[in-house]
Structure 1
Amino acid sequence: MKNLRFFEKIVFFFNSIAAFLLLLSYILPLLPPKTFASFSVLSLGVPILIVINALFLLYWLVKIKKQLLLSLVVLVVGYLSFGSLYKFSESNSNIPEEAISVMNYNVRLFNLYQWIPEKGIESKIEEFIKKEAPDVLLMQEYHPHKNVDLSFFKYKFEKLSGNKTKYGQAIFSQYPIINSGSVEFPNTSNNAIYADVVKGKDTLRFYNIHLQSLRIDPNLEKLTEDDAQRLFKGVGNTFKRQQFQAELFRLHKNKSPYKTVVGSDLNNTAFSYAYKEIKDNLVDNFKAAGNGFGRTYHFKFFPIRIDFILTDPEFTVNSFKTYDVLYSDHYPIMSKISLSNKED
Structure 2
Amino acid sequence: MKGLKLGSKIVFIINSLVAFLLLTSYILPYIPPKSFATLSVLSLGVPLLIILNVIFLIYWLLRVKKQLLLSLVVLLLGWNYINSMYKFSASEDIKDDSNFTVMSFNVRLFNKYDWLKDKTVKDNIIDFVKKEQPDVLCLQEYPRSEQVRFEGYHNFNATYNKGIKGGQAIYSKFPIINSGSLEFPNTYNNAIFIDIVKQKDTIRVYTFHLQSSGIETDVEKLKKETSSHLFKQVGATFKAQQDQVELFLAHKSKSNYKTIVTGDFNNTAYSYIYRMVKGDDLKDTFEDAGNGFGRTYDFKFFPMRIDFILADKDFTVNGFKTFDVKLSDHYPIKTTLSLP
Q: State the 1:161 CA deviation.
A: 8.8
Q: Which position in structure 1 is the counterpart of 2:176?
A: 177
Paired AA for residue 236 in structure 1: G
1:269 match: secondary structure: coil
Query: Which consecutive residues of structure 1, in runs of 5 or more, have no partner in the other structure?
Result: none
Q: Which position in structure 2 is the counterpart of 1:328?
A: 328
Q: State the 1:301 CA deviation.
A: 2.0
Q: State the 1:92 CA deviation.
A: 2.5
Contact 1:159 1:193 in 2 (8 A): no
Task: Write out per-residue CA displacement over residues 168-206 of structure 1, whole angstroms, 9 at most, x where no aligned residue.
Answer: 100100111111111221111111111000111111000
Moved more, 13-22 or 243-252: 243-252
Take 1:160 and 1:27, find their aligned partners in 2: how far apart are those partners? 42
Q: Which position in structure 1 is the counterpart of 2:237?
A: 238
Once the two structures are superposed, the pairs formed by residues 156-175 of structure 1 within 5 Å of their partners are 156-158=155-157, 167-175=166-174
Q: Which position in structure 2 is the counterpart of 1:22?
A: 22
Paired AA for residue 248 in structure 1: L
Q: State the 1:85 CA deviation.
A: 2.4
Take 1:97 and 1:117, find their aligned partners in 2: how far apart are those partners? 42
Q: State the 1:262 CA deviation.
A: 0.8
The TM-score, its normalising length taken from structure 1, stands at 0.93
Q: Which position in structure 1 is the counterpart of 2:308?
A: 308
Q: Which position in structure 2 is the counterpart of 1:251?
A: 250
Contact 1:180 1:193 in 2 (8 A): yes
Q: Which position in structure 2 is the counterpart of 1:293?
A: 293
Q: Which position in structure 2 is the counterpart of 1:75?
A: 75
Task: Write out per-residue CA displacement over residues 35-91 of structure 1, whole angstroms, 9 at most, x where no aligned residue.
Answer: 111112211100010010111111111111111111111100110466352103344
Q: Which position in structure 2 is the counterpart of 1:279?
A: 278
Take 1:81 and 1:329, find their aligned partners in 2: how far apart are those partners? 24
Q: Which position in structure 2 is the counterpart of 1:129?
A: 129
Q: Which position in structure 1 is the counterpart of 2:98?
A: 98
Change (3 A) 1:227 1:218: farther
Q: Which position in structure 2 is the counterpart of 1:198?
A: 197
Contact 1:293 1:303 in 2 (8 A): yes
Paired AA for residue 104 in structure 1: S
Q: Which position in structure 2 is the counterpart of 1:139?
A: 139
Q: State the 1:94 CA deviation.
A: 3.4
Paired AA for residue 285 in structure 1: T
Q: State the 1:100 CA deviation.
A: 1.2
Q: State the 1:267 CA deviation.
A: 0.3
Paired AA for residue 250 in structure 1: L
Task: Write out per-residue CA displacement over residues 252-297 of structure 1, whole angstroms, 9 at most, x where no aligned residue.
Answer: 1122110001111000000001000001121100000000000000
Q: State the 1:221 CA deviation.
A: 2.4
Paired AA for residue 41 in structure 1: V
Q: 4+ residue runs of structure 1 moved beyond 6 angstroms?
A: 159-162
Contact 2:91 2:290 in 1 (8 A): no
Change (3 A) 1:174 1:116: same
Contact 2:278 2:310 in 1 (8 A): yes
Contact 1:153 1:172 in 2 (8 A): no
2:71 match: secondary structure: helix
Q: State the 1:211 CA deviation.
A: 0.4
Take 1:201 and 1:161, find their aligned partners in 2: how far apart are those partners? 31
Change (3 A) 1:289 1:201: same
Q: How many percent identity over aligned positions?
A: 57
* Number of residue equivalences: 337
Take 2:172 and 2:180, find their aligned partners in 1: how far apart are those partners? 15
Take 1:94 and 1:187, find their aligned partners in 2: how far apart are those partners? 43
RMSD: 2.0
Q: Which position in structure 2 is the counterpart of 1:31?
A: 31
Contact 1:295 1:331 in 2 (8 A): yes
1:317 aligns with 2:313: no
Task: Write out per-residue CA displacement over residues 120-157 of structure 1, whole angstroms, 9 at most, x where no aligned residue.
Answer: 110000000000000000010001354x6423143111
Paired AA for residue 333 in structure 2: I
Take 2:39 and 2:132, find their aligned partners in 1: how far apart are those partners? 40
Paired AA for residue 278 in structure 2: K
1:11 aligns with 2:15: no
Take 1:35 and 1:149, find their aligned partners in 2: how far apart are those partners? 42
Contact 2:157 2:166 in 1 (8 A): no
